[in-house]
Structure 1
C-alpha cells in the first residue's frame, strides 16, 4: 500500500513539474528567435540611420540580435531588379516581419506579400504610395512611419535666406513618388510667395551634376526634397553650389550635412527607433498592422551647415527657423 501511494505521489509531482514547465515555455515568447527581413532601397546616411534606429528600437523593446532576434538585411542599391528579387527572398524565407526602408522598397515588399506583417519607414505618404488605406486605419498588412517634412516651413526658410530671390530651382528624381509629392508642395508654396520656379529632374546619380550646375547658374536658391537619388550624391551637388555660392535647402538633415546650407528636418535615427518599437509590438502579438496608425516624426529641428554658410558668406547665426 505504501509503495502504491509512493508511486502515485511521484506521478502527481512529475505531472505538476511538467505542467509548470509547459506554462513557463508558453509564457516566454521572448526566448523564441524572431526572423526579421529588412529591405533598404539604397545606401545613404538618412536611410542608414533609419536602419540603425530600427535595431535600437527593437533592442529597447527586448529583441536582441544573436539572442532572440535574427535580421536578414538586404540593400538593393537603387536597382529595381534587386528590389524584386530581394523582396521575394525575404518572403520565401518566411520572415516573421519585414521592414521596408524608403518608398520603392516598401512598395516592393508590399507587392511581394499581402500576409507577412510589414512596417516601413522613410516613406513620405503611405496612402499615396498605396501602402495603406488611410494613416489612421491602414487596413492591410502594412503600417509604419512617415518622413513627411513641413515643406512650407522649409520654403519659408529658403526665402528668408534669399529674401530678394526671383527664381528658385527645385531638383529631384521624378521616378520617386515621394519626391514628386514634396516637389509639388514646394512649387505651390513658392508660387504663393510670388517666386518663379525652375524644375530639373534626374533619373540617376549620373545626372545630378548637370542638373545642379544648370540650376546653380539660373536661380537664386535651390530646394531638394527628401530624395534618395539626390541624397546619394549630396556631396557632389554641395560642391557645385558652394562654388557658385547658391544656398541649397534640403528636405533632410543628413543631406544638408553633406552638401546643403540648412533645413528644418527629421532625425532619421529617431524615426527608425519609432518604427522599431512599432515592429516590436507586432512581434509581441500586442498589435496588428491593419489597426496600428501610421506615425509621424515626434520631433523636427533646424539644422545649419556652418561651414557651408561661411563659404557662401552667410552668418550661420542669422539663419533662424520661420515661425
Structure 2
C-alpha cells in the first residue's frame, strides 16, 4: 500500500523538476497599461497658493513615474469657492453641499482616481468615493484623523495620501531655541479645520515647554489688526506671534499675513509661521513644504494607477523632517542671534533666506 502511493509521488516530483520556474516579480510600470489614458479628478475648497504648490508637486511626481497629462493622463480639477471666505454655519453648510454635488458628479464619471486637496474636500467627499469603490488620495491635510482617517498613518478603507502633519512639540522647541525670551505666543485663526487642529496642538504642546499660547477666533473676512492689538495689549500681552496652518492667511491676496508682518515690524515683535506659507515680516518658518507633501501624494497615486495597488495597503506619508527657513534681515532687525548649531547647517536661498538642514 505504501509502495503504490510512493511511486506516483516520485513520478510527479520528477515531472515537476522538468517544469520551468514560475516568475512572480511584478511587471515594471512602463509595461503596464501602455495604451491607457488614466482619468483623475481633483477636488479642493478655495484656490490658494499653498494648494497650488501641493498640486504642482503631485503632478511632478506623476510625471516622474511616466504619467503625463495629455499623453496617458487626463485631469479635471475643481476648486469650490462658494462664499468660503465668509465662514459661518450657513456658508459652511453651503460648502458641504457643493462638495457633495461635485462628488456625485465625480462618481458618475467613474475616474481611475480622485485627489482631494485640503481637509474639507477630503473629509466630506471620502464616504461617497469609498462607496463607489473609487480610489482616493489626499494631500495638504494637517491632521488625517480630522479628515476621517483611523490614525496618522492609516487612512482607512479606500483611501491614502500625504499629510502636512509635523510634530508640534518639535516645532515649538525650535521656536523656543531661537527666541528664548519669548514665553507668550499669540495665534489668530478661523474655523478652518487645519487651523483649529494646529492651534489646539500648539496650546497643548506649548505648556510643557513653558510656552503659554493665547488664541483668538475670527471670521475669514475679518481684518486681523484689531485682534493683534488685543493680544499684544501695548506690550503687556503676547511677546511673539505664530501663524497656524489656516487658509485665512492665504486669502485676500495674503492681506492678513501682510498685516501681521507689518504689525510685528512696527512693534518689534517676532513673527513665526508654523506653516510654509508666505508671511512678509516673519523671521522664522517651520513646517511641512506643500510641494513636497504633494509629491508624496503623487507617488501613492502612481502606485495605484500603474500597479493597481489598493489604497488601503498604502500608509499615509508625511515629511519626516520639517522645512526650516530664516529671514536673516528680520532676525537682525529684532537683534536676535541664531543658535550656532543652526548657523552651521544653513544654506542661502535665491530670495536671501537661510534654509536650515535639520536632518544633519
Provide the residue aligned with 1:227 in structure 2: 246
Q: Deviations over 1:276-318 (max 9, x none)?
A: 1110111124311112111111442321123433443445677
Could you list the per-position Cα deviations for residues 57-86 of structure 1 after superposition, in whole angstroms to 9, with x for gaps in the alignment? Answer: 111111101111111111123731543433
Gaps of 5+ in 1: 1-26
Task: Report how many aligned residue pairs link the two structures.
Answer: 294
Aligned to 1:10: none
Aligned to 2:271: 248
- Once the two structures are overlaid, the 10-residue window that deviates more, 243-252 or 273-282, is 243-252
Which of 121, 145, 154 matches 1:127? 145
Q: Which moved more, 1:209-218 or 1:279-288?
A: 209-218
| TM-score normalised over the length of structure 1 | 0.81
What is residue 74 of structure 1 aligned with on the other side?
78
CA RMSD of aligned residues (A): 2.6
Q: Which residue number in structure 1 is paired with residue 349 of structure 2?
A: none
* Structure 1 residue 45: Cα displacement: 2.7
Aligned to 2:283: 261
- CA gap of 1:133–1:201, structure 2 versus 1, over 3 A, is same
Residue 177 (structure 2) pairs with residue 154 (structure 1): no
1:213-267: per-residue Cα shift (whole Å, max 9, x none)?
43344310012222222343322322222222211221222334x4422133222
Structure 1: distance between partners of 2:265 and 2:127: 41
Q: In structure 2, how many angstroms separate the alpha carbons of the residues matched to 1:42 and 1:301?
A: 24
Contact 1:224 1:251 in 2 (8 A): yes
Q: Which residues in structure 2 correspond to 1:125-204 (within 5 Å)?
A: 125-130=143-148, 132-173=149-190, 175-204=191-220
Q: Is the 8 A contact 2:118 2:140 kept in 1?
A: yes
Q: 1:123 to 1:164 in 2, by over 3 A?
A: same
* Structure 2 counterpart of 1:46: 50
8 Å CA contact 2:296–2:318 kept in 1: the answer is no
1:113 maps to which residue? 129
> Which residue number corresponds to residue 20 of structure 1?
none
Cα distance in 1 between the residues matched to 2:154 and 2:171: 29
Segment drifting more, 275-284 vs 182-191: 182-191
Distance 2:75 2:109 in 1: 12
